[in-house]
Amino acid sequence: MAGLSDPFLAPALGAALSQWLQQLAALEGAAENTVEAYRRDVARYLKFLSAHRGGAEGLAAVARTTQSDLRAWMAAERTHISPRSLARALSAVKGFTAWAADRTKTDATTVLSARGPKHRRKLPRPLSEDAAAAMLDDIGSDSREDWITARDTAIATLLYGLGLRISEALSLTGADHPLPPTLRITGKGGKTRLVPVLPAAADAVAAYVASCPFDLAPSDPLFRGARGGPVNPRLIQSAMERARLRLGLPATATPHALRHSFATHLLSAGGDLRAIQELLGHASLSTTQAYTAVDAARLMEVYEKAHPRA
């Protein structure tokens, strides 16, 4: 796994960080983006400790970080990152510290018992059912090629109809066509889940395949760019940006908002929260529970419009 070492760290610490990250990826199935975020967080922490203490630190000294050192680091981080990002950084630091303490037989209680900053979790921003339907009808309509319009429609339908992440939709290969009644999806951290395929989604993908000018071999990407290569996610984001401007939708109408819409509309229709968790591939039910807050907020909005205060 390239790019895990940091040239600005002492060689021993850089090697230790690289080894820990490789373990996260290999044994715990951490996603590549997560590994990279943790690398940045922990590297910044280690460089801060070195500067704060006035010299290079060994692995045992890192595990014995004092409460004063930790508070100084968190105060420095607060000046340029959000409380949410700092909470993630602290989680990464705790993970590395626990690993370092185990390696050096050191007591790391101070770091492991530290509490992160409180932050309010952002609620998902789904589209209304009408807006989601309008997006599926409009996306790609400005493309010069009909097959590209069909491609963008198929991808958007997978996001909204199956609740896929854009990376998951774009990871499908020619072997996945025609879409089966149940699709096996590999999501974050290499976790797999089974997702029922709606007829509308199967039809949208079939329409795209029928018009695609490229040979879709089983091992090749299902969705192709104009020159035949894999589709860059940015192309779909741009198509949605243009569509939302035509439709007068807010800037939150992104590809991921279609996945949020899938979950919110399913919950509104009486879907079971744990079933929705399975469909989305959430590791924790608490992540899925955010949609209950969205549903409650929408219900209150409707109530207030129907019963205006005097």
pLDDT tens per residue, range 126-158: 788 899 999 999 998 999 899 999 999 999 999
CA atoms 16, 18, 21, 22: torsion sign: negative
Q: For residue 189, with 0-12 CB atoms within 10 Å meaning exposed, 13-18 middle and 19 or more buried, which class applies?
A: middle
Is residue 238 helix, strand or coil?
Answer: helix
| Pairwise CA distance, residues 252 & 262, whole Å | 15
Residue 221 bridge partners (DSSP) = 173
Residue 182 bridge partners (DSSP) = 196
Domains along the sequence of the chain with CATH: 11-112 (1.10.150.130), 129-258 (1.10.443.10)
- Written as six digits, the tokens of 27 are 């044994």
pLDDT tens digits for range 152-197: 999 999 999 888 989 999 999 999 999 999 989 888 777 788 888 9
| Pairwise CA distance, residues 302 & 310, whole Å | 16
Active site residues: 165, 188, 256, 259, 282, 291
- pTM reported for the whole predicted model: 0.61
